[in-house]
Amino acid sequence: MNIYNHIEQINSNIPMAISVGSFDGVHLAHHQILQKLAQEAENIGGQSLVVTFSTHPRAVIDPDYQLKLLNTIEEKNQLIARFHIDNILYLNFDKQTANLSYQDFYFFLLKHINIQSIVMGFNHSFGKNKEGNFNSLTALNQNKIHIINVEQQKIHNENISSTIIRRHLQNGDIALANKLLGYSYSIAIKKFENQENRTLFSIIDHKKVLPQNGTYHVLIDQMPCEAVIKDTEIIIDKKFDKDLYSLILIS
């Protein structure tokens, strides 16, 4: 999978099926989009391209909101790669980008990318004031490019979205969050103190969503443990030799 940080790096001679979005969490609803995107790339005899952002748009549009994310960029890349996506493009999202109309953003992409198909989530919106959506883009496009609207995804009448998953995690409802993600949520941690019968860890990436303070069932190096999460500190009643671990939340 090719990862680009500048749109000029995209080969404009290659037909592309694209999907645009933050893809935070790469959850079950995203899975449907990515599967359709890979299928569309095959249909057009070209490649698939995820267009996403190096900074989450909400962090720019609403800087006072303390946004926590489900994935680091590295995690997002790994999760997207599972769907055999050919390319990821990370665009810089700043105030200038936030003020682009959906028409200007669309034509900006067309200028640099040989777009043949666009795959969109059912409620995806983009551009200034979120005026770009499936209907407005379809009208603007006038059937020149195949635009596919992926239906809303639910599990047991529960909507699947990054916002809902963040809320479940923050409320400590790990099992439901994992169900909507389609995988078990993980946090990178670093050992900072060994005590007699326990180990203290700190969170490596403070932009990640953390569950509310409490005791959780986790896996560390595939070993079942109980972890006490207290703010950004994690206490586990076992001794660990290495400094860095991935803590997988089970329940």
Q: pLDDT digits over 211-251, tens only?
A: 999 999 999 988 999 999 998 899 998 889 899 999 999 99
- Mean residue pLDDT across the chain: 94
DSSP string computed for 178-201? HHHHTS--EEEEEEEEE-SS-EEE
At 123, is the pLDDT very low, low, confident or very high (cuts 50, 70, 90)?
confident
pTM, 2 dp: 0.92
Please report the pLDDT score of residue 74 as a whole number: 95
* H or E element in which residue 38 lies: helix 28-44
The proportion of the chain whose per-residue pLDDT surpasses 90, expressed as a percent, equals: 82
Please report the pLDDT score of residue 70 as a whole number: 97
Q: Are 148 and 118 in contact (CB under 8 A)?
A: yes
pLDDT at 48 over 90: yes
Q: Give me the helix-helix angle, 102-112 and 134-141, nearest 10°.
A: 60
Please report the pLDDT score of residue 197 as a whole number: 84
- The span from the CA of 160 to the CA of 182, in Å, is 10
